[in-house]
Amino acid sequence: MKTLWHWSKRALLALVLVFVAYQLWLLGHVLWWKWVPPSETSFMSLRLGELSAQQPDAELRYRWVPYERISIHLKRAVVAAEDDKFVDHEGFDWDGIQKAIEKNQKKGKAVAGGSTISQQLAKNLFLSPSRSYFRKAEEAIITVMIETLWDKRRILEVYLNVVEWGNGIFGCEAAAQRYFRVSAAQLAPAQAARLAVMLPNPRKYEKTFGPRLAAHAARIQGRAAYAEVP
């Protein structure tokens, strides 16, 4: 019995050390990416693996552009569509989370998430789309790291550059070129709003962008004029 207890304690200690080491690995990347553009994210690696399974020479469309070369219309539209309290919260929109929970309970299934831009960025950089309590807990830890070490301008800059905008399309520059044949700096208000409303399900809306989504884009375009960005 003593031997079992001894090995149980050692196993628990080993798990704790592994967990701490992983958190330090994440922290190191968050610190590095405070100044250096990410060359690849977890979502990029996942999507490239899926594409390569169908086409071995598949490549992602991804090109980093600095914050000042991203259209102000896109910045405002994305904040208006995804996280209208972005500049005020510290990573979590508790009112939004509560509303999402209530909406999901009413519908009987997950139809709303309530995630902020910071939370989405944490997931895109390091995690996967899978749903689990562990993943949500890890997402929260990474969100705190990002919000503590980066300013809002950097968070929005990285998010707009690495978020998925279609099958194999990552970042606003690749999206602007793919859908409108212009650079991210040249996006007009209507174009920016259309890109913003694609974000919840970009691979679906890349193929089908119907009247309902177009109407939503028009509403976002109107709200974007008043959105506050860093």
Which range is most confident: 7-11, 112-116, 179-183, 209-213?
179-183
Name the β-bridge partners of 199: none
Question: Parallel, antiparallel, or unpaired for β 61-62 and 169-170?
Answer: parallel
Q: What is the mean pLDDT of residues 106-129?
A: 80
Tell me how crowded residue 146 is: count the other CB atoms within 10 A of its CB: 23
Q: Report pLDDT digits (tens) over 34-61.
A: 999 999 999 999 999 999 999 998 999 9
User: What angle, 0 to 180 degrees and rounded to 10, lies between the N-to-C axes of helices 152-162 and 117-126?
Assistant: 50
Give the CB-side neighbour count of residue 204, counting CA atoms within 13 A.
Answer: 7
The model's pLDDT over 123-175, given as tens digits with 9 standing for 90+, comes to 999 998 888 888 899 999 999 999 999 999 999 999 999 999 999 999 999 99
Q: Domains, the chain, ranges and CATH?
A: 37-224 (1.10.3810.10)
Report helix, strand or coil for 128.
coil
Q: Are 177 and 56 within 8 A, CB to CB?
A: no
DSSP designation for 87: T
Nearest Cα neighbor of 191 from 169, 156, 170, 165 is 165
The pLDDT tens digits for 74-96 are 999 999 999 999 999 998 888 76
* Mean pLDDT on 114-131: 92
Q: How confident is the model at residue 113 (pLDDT cuts 50, 70, 90)?
A: low
